[in-house]
Structure formats: structure tokens, C-alpha cells
Copies of this chain bind each other. A is one copy, B any other.
Amino acid sequence: MRQDNRLPRVLHALLHLSDMKDPATSEQLAGMLNTNAAVVRRTMAGLRDRGILTSIKGHGGGWQLARPLEKITLAEIYQALGAPTLFALGCGDEESQCLMEKAANTATARALQLASETFITALSSVTMADLAVDFEKRLAELGLSPDNLHHFADQHH
């Protein structure tokens, strides 16, 4: 499989959305994320279905946050993306009849399961608001005031 970058991409998009008053079109977001509008729609669809985003058609339409950043955990976003396969590693054929293969597969699956739980737990403990704080810190480190210079932080504009 190719590498799945939807999670960081969506986080990135949500941060931009939180910074905008008006709805952002798929076209605008695609520009910020260096991708295609259809990809944005496809990727964001799950977040809309989960009530994280709203989408509005027609003039002045686009994407908006449906909730404050504090109430959106990264784990929920991961779920909204369909909880895509975390691992590039597989644990072998589940239906094998060879007991040696079963032992091998079980051991692999166990390690992957533990890693998966760690991943979900880590995502659960972080909200989008935490990311926004991280962003503000990065801004401040560059000596920029968070109040009036947000747009400088975004190289896309």
C-alpha cells in the first residue's frame, strides 16, 4: 500500500479552518494542502458524517468546523477517516492450518495489537486545541505576535 497521509493532512486542514471566519471551499483547502479539491471532499466526508465538520453547498459555501477545537480529539478524527490500517506490516494468513505458522502469526499480531492500542491512546489524549497551542508556540518562536500575524505563518498565501 502507499503511505496514507490523510490523518496529518486533515489535522492541517482543521487548523486552517479554525483560523477562518467564512467557510473554506474544497478548492481553497486543496491549495493549502497541496492536493486536489476532489481529494479534499473525499477525505473530509467522514468528518462531516461524524459531526466534526459541516459542508455547505452553493454560493459562499464550503467547509466549517462544527465544534470548538477543544471538543475534537485526534482519535475521533482517525475514526472519522475510517480507522484506516495503521500498519504496513501484516501478521500473516489468519486461516492457516499449520500450527507453527499460527504461533508465528499470533506473536506478530500481539505486538501489533499493543502498538495499535498505544497509538489510539496517544491520539485520544490530544485535542485539536492542543495542536492550536503548539502552532501558537511555533509562531512565537519566530518572534511573531499571534494576534495579528497569523497569515505570515502560512506559506501557502
A135 close to B100 (CB less than 8 A) = yes
Tell me which of A39-47, A49-57, A89-97 binds B. A89-97
Q: Contact residues of A with B, CB < 8 Å?
A: 1-5, 7-9, 11-12, 15-16, 19, 32, 34, 74, 84-93, 96-108, 110-112, 114-119, 122-123, 126, 130-132, 134-135, 138-139, 142, 153-156
CB distance from A129 to the nearest CB of B (A): 11
CB distance from A80 to the nearest CB of B (A): 14
A91 close to B154 (CB less than 8 A) = no
B105 close to A8 (CB less than 8 A) = yes
A5 close to B100 (CB less than 8 A) = no
Q: What does DSSP make chain A's interface, helix, strand, loop or mixed?
A: helix
Known: A1-B2, A3-B89, A90-B8. A115 touches B104 (CB 8 A): no
Cβ 8 A contact of A107, one of B5, B11, B34, B101: B11
B86 close to A115 (CB less than 8 A) = yes
A153 close to B98 (CB less than 8 A) = yes
Q: In the bound complex, what is the Cα–Cα distance between A98 and B29 (angstroms)? A: 13
Q: Which residues of B contact A108 (CB under 8 A)?
A: 7-8, 11, 74
B107 close to A114 (CB less than 8 A) = no
